[in-house]
Structure 1
Amino acid sequence: MLDAPTSLLDAYPGASVQAIRTSPGCKAALEIARVGYARPGFGTARSAGHGDGFLLSVSLTGAQRVLYTPDLPCSTPLAPDEITIRRAGDPYRAELSSPFDFLYFRVAPESLYRLSDDLGVPNVQTLSCEPGTSDPVLARLGNALLPALADPAHADPLFVDQMALAAQVHMIQAYGAAIGPQADLAPARGGLAAWQEKLARDMLTADLHADVSISDVAQGCGLSRSYFIKAFRQTMGTTPHRWLLECRVEQAKLMLLQSDAPVSDVARDCGFSDQAHLTRVFASVVGAPPAAWRRQNRS
C-alpha cells in the first residue's frame, strides 16, 4: 500500500488523492492513484516533473482543461475514459475549471522491460498515444480498483496485483513502442494471443483458493466475457472454468502424494467447496477417487 504521492499532492493542492501500489513480488510494478475535485474552479495543476517512467491518466468523468504545451495555452477538454500519457519527469501545467476525477498509473521502465521479456516481445522503450484517445479497457480496470483505493488497509493485494498486471499488459499491447511486429501480440483467428493466454493463466492460477471472476480475466485481456470463453476454449481445448478445476486437481494430486492430510483438508486447500466436490471432479479428470488414487500411487 502507499501514502498519497507527494508529487500528486503538490501538483493538485487541495484535491483528494488516494493511492495504492502493487506488492513487491508483482511483475507489474505500478503505483496507482486517484485524484479528484468535486467542485468547479479548481485552478492550476502544476508539476515540475518527478522521477522516471511514465504517467498514464484516465479521466473517469468529463473535465474542462486548458493545457500548457509547453507554455502556450490550448483548450483540451477530456471525455470520460480518455487517457493521456506523459513522462513522469516532464513538466506539466493545466487549468481545470470543472470538477474532475483522474486515475493515474505510474509505470517504472524496468517493469515494462521485465514484463515485455516475460511476454516474449522486444523490450518496450516508451509509451505514447494520440490526443483524444479513449480507452474503455483501462478505464474498466481502473474502476475495478476504486474500492481498493478507497480503503487500502483492507484491499486484497492479490486482486490489486492481478488488475495491475492486466493493466500493464494492455498498456504494452496498446501503447508500447518498439514491441516488434504487431502480429506478435495479435490473437490467432478466434483464439487468444500469446500475451492474453499468459495473462489468463496467471490470473486464473494466482490463488487456487479464490473464486476467480471470469469476467475480470476477460476484461484484463480486453475481451468480452463470451468472446474470451470461446477464444480460451479454442486455444486451450477447454473452458476457463474446467481448466481451473484441472489445475486444482493437479495441486490436489501433489498434496495427496506428499502429505497424509485427510481428503477433506486437501479439498479445502485446493479451492474445492467440499470433499464431495473434489471427489467428483478428481474422478472425472483422473479416473479414480482421490483416496483410491492415493493408495495406488503411494504403494
Structure 2
Amino acid sequence: MPHDFQNLMPAIALRTAHPPLPQAPGPVGVDPFGCTADRLSDDQALIGKDVQFYRKSSLGKRATQVEMPATDRGVLLGVSLRGGHRRRIFDGRHGRTHDFDNGAIYLRSLAVDYKADFCSDFDFMLVEISRTFIERVAIERGAATPELQPLAAHADPVLAHLAHAMVPLLQHPEQACQLFVDQLSLAIGAHLVHRYGHGTALPEDGGKSLRRLPPRSVERAKEMLAARFDGNLSVGEVADACQLSRSHFTRAFRESTGQTPHQWLIERRLERAYALLRDTDLPLAEVAVSCGFCDQSHFTRVFSRATGVTPGVWRRGAAG
C-alpha cells in the first residue's frame, strides 16, 4: 500500500460525533445516476462540496438497466461492496460484459453518456468527484491536471478498503466526522490521480511535500483542533490557518506529530476521558458528552478499542 495511505488506515475504524453532514434528498422516480428508486434496497448519501458518497444496492430488487446522460459534474468512482455482479456496458451500439468481484471498481467521466444492462443484483459505493477537486489534488501533488483512465471491473485493494470504511458512516451519518471525511476524500483523490491519471507521473520532490510543519503552525493547528472538540472542523479550515494546501497540511502534520489530525483529536479526547474517570464521579454518559463523543455507546467503543477495557472497568481499576 502506498506510503500516503498507510498511516491513514488506523483512523478509519474510528467514528467521531458531530452534527450530520448534509444529506441528499430521497430519490423520486429516477435518481441522478439513472437508477429507478423502487429497484433500490439501499440508497444512502453523504454530500460534500466537491466529493459526494453514495451507497446504492439492489439486493432482492432486480435493477435491469440504467441510462445517464452526460453532465459536467466530474467523474464517478464505483466500488463493488460484494462479488457476483455482472453488467453489460454499452458504447454506442456495442456492449461489453463485465464481472465485478468484491472490491472491483469502475471509473468513468460523467461528461460521457452512460448506458448499462444489469444482469444481477449489485451493492456499490459511488463516489462522485468534481473536476475542480481532481485538478486541485493534482496541483497540490506537483502533477499536471490528468484525464483519468476509464475502467470497469478493475481490482484496486486500496480503493476497496477506503470504500468499506465509508459504509458505517453512511449507515449512521450522525456519527460522521467532517475531519475524517475530508481526509478520506483526499486519500481517494490522491490515489486516483497517482494511479489512473493519463501520463501523470508523481515524481519525488526531494521531500518538500513531506517536510515538517514549523513549530508555530503545529501549535496553531493543535489549538484549533482542541477548540473544536466535537470534530466538526474541516481540514481546509486548519490548512488555511497554516497557509497550506489541504493535502500538504495533512501530510506535514502527520510528519510532525506522527498522527493524522483526526487521530490526534481522538487521543486528546481520550486524555480528557482518563482525567474525568479518575478524578470525578460523573456518570459515563456525561463523560462521553464532555469529551466530544456523541453518546455513551460511541465513547465505550472508542475507549475499549484504545485500552482493551471499558470505561467502567478502567475507572474501577484507577480507583483501586
TM-score by length of 1: 0.59
Determine if the alignment matches structure 1 residue 66 to structure 2 residue 92.
no
Q: Deviations over 1:45-76 (max 9, x none)?
A: 11112333111111111201111122223221
User: Is the radius of gyration larger for structure 1 or structure 2?
Assistant: 1
CA offset at residue 137 of structure 1?
0.9
CA drift at 1:9? 4.9
Matches within 5 A, 1:157-176: 157-176=178-197
What percent of counterpart residues are identical?
A: 21
Corresponding residue number in structure 2 for 1:88:
110
1:239-278 equivalent positions in 2, closer than 5 A: 240=259, 273-274=274-275
- The alpha carbon displacement at 1:3 in A equals 0.7
Shift of 1:273: 4.8
Of 46, 50, 53, the residue aligned with 1:32 is 53
Tell me, which stretches of 5 or more residues in structure 1 are unaligned? 213-231, 249-266, 276-299
Return the alpha-carbon distance in structure 2 between the equivalents of residues 84 and 196 of structure 1: 34
The CA deviation at 1:193 is: 9.7
SS in 1 for 2:99: coil
Whole-Å Cα distance in 2 between the matches of residues 162 and 96 of structure 1? 33
For the 8 Å contact 2:107–2:152, the answer to whether it is kept is no
Q: Distance in 2 between matches of 1:55 and 1:110?
A: 13
Cα 1:80–1:194 shift into 2, 3 Å: farther
Deviation at 1:196, TM superposition (A): 11
1:194-221, Cα deviation, whole Å (9 max, x unpaired): 47999xx9xx979458799xxxxxxxxx
RMSD, aligned α-carbons: 4.1
Amino acid at match of 2:34: A
Deviation at 1:87, TM superposition (A): 0.9
Would the aligned equivalents of 1:57 and 1:105 in 2 still touch at CA under 8 Å? Answer: yes
Go from structure 1 to structure 2 and tell me whether the alpha carbon gap of 1:46 and 1:238 turns closer, same or farther (over 3 Å shift).
Answer: closer
Aligned with residue 136 of structure 2, among 103, 110, 114: 114
Cα 1:159–1:77 change in 2 (3 A) is same
Match for 2:34 among 1, 11, 15? 11
Q: Distance in 1 between matches of 2:269 and 2:171?
A: 31
Residues 12/108 of structure 1: CA separation in 2 closer, same or farther (3 Å cut): same
Which of 3, 21, 43 matches 2:47? 21
> Could you say if the C-alpha distance between residues 238 and 144 of structure 1 is closer, same or farther in structure 2, counting changes exceeding 3 Å?
closer
Partners of 1:196 and 1:131 in 2: CA distance: 37
Distance 1:71 1:195 in 2: 48
**Partner Cα separation in structure 2 for residue 143 and residue 117 of structure 1:** 28
Tell me if 1:126 matches 2:147: yes
Partner secondary structure for residue 128 of structure 1:
coil
Once residues 88 and 187 of structure 2 are traced to their aligned partners in structure 1, the CA distance between those partners, rounded to angstroms, is 31
C-alpha distance after superposition, 1:211-255 (max 9, x if no partner): 99xxxxxxxxxxxxxxxxxxx9xx9598559xx87x99xxxxxxx
What is aligned with 1:140?
161
- The residue number in structure 2 matching 1:42 is 63
2:198 is aligned with 1:177:
yes
Partner of residue 77, structure 2: 56
Counterpart residue type for residue 18 of structure 1: Q
1:93 partner letter: K
CA deviations on 1:88-123 (whole Å, 9 max, x unpaired) are: 12111111121111111111111122222222x123
Gaps of 5+ in 2: 1-21, 232-250, 277-320
- Asked if structure 2 preserves the Cα contact closer than 8 Å seen for 1:127 and 1:175, the reply is yes
Q: Give the number of equivalent residue pairs.
A: 218
**Match status 1:97 vs 2:119:** yes
Distance in 1 (alpha carbons) for counterparts of 2:100 and 2:211: 30
Greater relative contact order: 1 or 2 (C-alpha under 8 angstroms, separation 6 or more)? 2
